Structure 1
């Protein structure tokens, strides 16, 4: 049932060219149904950890260019997977990271669809010019609600509970200096330190009510803001953001703002930029799959557009790096982009 439901959603979003302007406006990401009651997302349609692993293994068997690698394990001993596309080590490399927070899953759904997309003729030639690393569901224990603390306050509708934290209640996106937890250790030791990574997009979710220009946003972005980030890394980060902004905000259904984020090096986008000189971008999609605050949970009818927004983000970044157009991206829009409210 889950795969049928998700397939129907993706069929619609991948055929956006056939959607009339009126219907597109009705269910645009920024303006779609929000939360509560029958509108809350049915978590039963989302990939479980085991379903995700089976999906990745099937794609690995189908795609000659793909290598599936286990980079470590979670607290509860779940393997953490990375999909790897490296044809030429001298090409620029981008890392996509999803679900550091276990209750932020629609970006993982989009990343999995993007992996399938990489195995089709639509991306012919791209992999000759860019290397891609994708780590979906870093926090698999939180995504499965397999934790050593109570989830009674969470409100998952139609399936499992998902929580922001890992199995022992830690926020992995605050562990990029001390690196106490096995998930963060695996990411740093076996990805960030192992590969020469030029760009990273860290995909998250935020609440449902943030606005820009009085309109609900479909997401928000931010470059690294720690004062130890090198100027050239900051500039590359802003160029990565420009590529994503131009791809998403121009669609008519995506509406992006600047995220009001912290400066600590312990945050992923800051830590990777400071410690490894990686150009980083935080992308916060609208709404969460589960949360103790009902107003933060995304509406069921908006999930397809958030998945599409993830695919658009990943595809635009890869294309711009592959053809080197990212090098000429105009970053001046950051000076006038409103911080969401």
Structure 2
């Protein structure tokens, strides 16, 4: 299965109805209703606000993979890619490549958070910190699915902010992965080696598309995190993080890459369900580092200005509001967009200086206006 084939598959099965960052239950419910009989659909339970949480199953192979997305309601990119994958499965695109697996997918674990565009659920709980207490209905649904399905692998699908670089270089972390630790000592046991091997394979195949832009999350053990908990039960678990491709604030380029990453991972597991082949290459992947601003204004008369977008839900759409995050010497930081102030002061339209926390759409540099609004996403 080549990258060219994956690109052709994606173009044939992309669900155009799902676009942008705001994806909630109203968007996916009609798509679930339209899924063919080749996919088995079930309501696993209900959220705090009594919204249904669905599972979709496909395949009859021996190796079971449990996948869940949008446990953080404002992380929707992987959900879009999952529905693209459903279309591919309905069109029998991966019948041969996936014949060794059985998939159980919960495409939206946190429908209440998705509706509000919040990380937390309706009780203001981070579901990815509730693995030990299992205090929330959504957490109990996921744990029940895990116990009943008895997966051989788990994919924990997330999205990450634009601030991450792949190591210290000025490369945005477009995709990030993690083979979670199973204990505080971060032992590299059999299940973790299997997770690492899958990630190493994805990195190897995707590097031609995004060279130097794949990173790893920190692997400090936290039993409250779902991936760490499932890994501690000797189930190889993999964290997928949809990051930022230049100018891709709607995460449509990254959606395409997540689709390909899932296909590569599932195919690898289907063909080699217990493989630890080349797992050592996992450690060659650079770590996520917090080095990026959405906008960085350098060489001002005073301090560099780092600006990040706040994502605000308004009238059913996400608005990106520029906010001053940091001011100072930011020599080891980068901007997805950079402005050179040429030693001039940077002022508001009222010709006043800025401070951290200020929301600004336009700045004045030498009496010239520079718009900070997002215009190309």
Q: TM-score range by the shorter chain?
A: 0.7 to 0.9
Matched, 1:49 2:6: no
- Structure 2 vs 1, CA of residues 141 and 320 (structure 1 numbering), >3 Å: closer, same or farther? same
Matched, 1:335 2:335: no
Output the CA distance in 2 between the equivalents of 1:202 and 1:312.
16
- RMSD of Structure 2 on Structure 1 (CA): 2.6
Matched, 1:173 2:149: no
1:83 alignment partner, SS class: strand
1:253-332 superposed matches below 5 A = 255-275=213-233, 277-287=234-244, 303-324=251-272, 327=275, 329-332=277-280
Deviation, 1:334, is 2.2
* Number of residue-to-residue matches in the alignment: 273
Higher helix share: 1
Output the CA distance in 1 between the equivalents of 2:215 and 2:126.
24
Question: Which residue in 2 is equivalent to 1:198?
Answer: 152
Q: Which of 172, 177, 182 pairs up with 2:137?
A: 182
Deviation, 1:51, is 2.5
Question: Which residue in 2 is equivalent to 1:82?
Answer: 55
Output the CA distance in 1 between the equivalents of 2:212 and 2:49.
37
CA contact (8 A) 1:263 1:270 kept: yes
CA contact (8 A) 2:68 2:106 kept: yes
Q: Which of 136, 145, 149 pairs up with 2:107?
A: 136
Deviation, 1:254, is 7.7
2:251 alignment partner, SS class: helix
Question: Which residue in 2 is equivalent to 1:70?
Answer: 43
Question: Which residue in 2 is equivalent to 1:110?
Answer: 81
Structure 1 or 2, whichever has the larger Rg, is: 2
- Structure 2 vs 1, CA of residues 141 and 268 (structure 1 numbering), >3 Å: closer, same or farther? same
Output the CA distance in 2 between the equivalents of 1:12 and 1:164.
33
- Structure 2 vs 1, CA of residues 194 and 85 (structure 1 numbering), >3 Å: closer, same or farther? same
Runs of 4+ in 1 over 3 A off after TM superposition: 11-16, 297-302
For residues 119-175 of structure 1, give each alpha carbon's deviation from its aligned partner in whole angstroms, at most 9, with x where no partner exists.
Answer: 113212345321111111101000001xxxxxxxxxxxxxxxx00000010000000
1:214-225 superposed matches below 5 A = 214-225=170-181
Higher strand share: 2
- Structure 2 vs 1, CA of residues 298 and 63 (structure 1 numbering), >3 Å: closer, same or farther? farther
CA contact (8 A) 2:176 2:214 kept: yes
Output the CA distance in 2 between the equivalents of 1:322 and 1:121.
15
CA contact (8 A) 1:73 1:79 kept: yes
For residues 33-81 of structure 1, give each alpha carbon's deviation from its aligned partner in whole angstroms, at most 9, with x where no partner exists.
Answer: xxxxxxxx954xx44302312201211xx242x1011111100011100
Question: Which residue in 1 is equivalent to 2:328?
Answer: none
| Structure with larger RCO (C-alpha < 8 A, sep 6+) | 1
For residues 179-212 of structure 1, give each alpha carbon's deviation from its aligned partner in whole angstroms, at most 9, with x where no partner exists.
Answer: 00000001101x1000120111111111112112
Could you list the runs of 5+ residues in structure 1 that have no partner in the other structure?
Answer: 1-10, 17-40, 146-161, 288-296
- Structure 2 vs 1, CA of residues 126 and 79 (structure 1 numbering), >3 Å: closer, same or farther? same
Output the CA distance in 2 between the equivalents of 1:303 and 1:13.
19
Output the CA distance in 2 between the equivalents of 1:310 and 1:326.
23
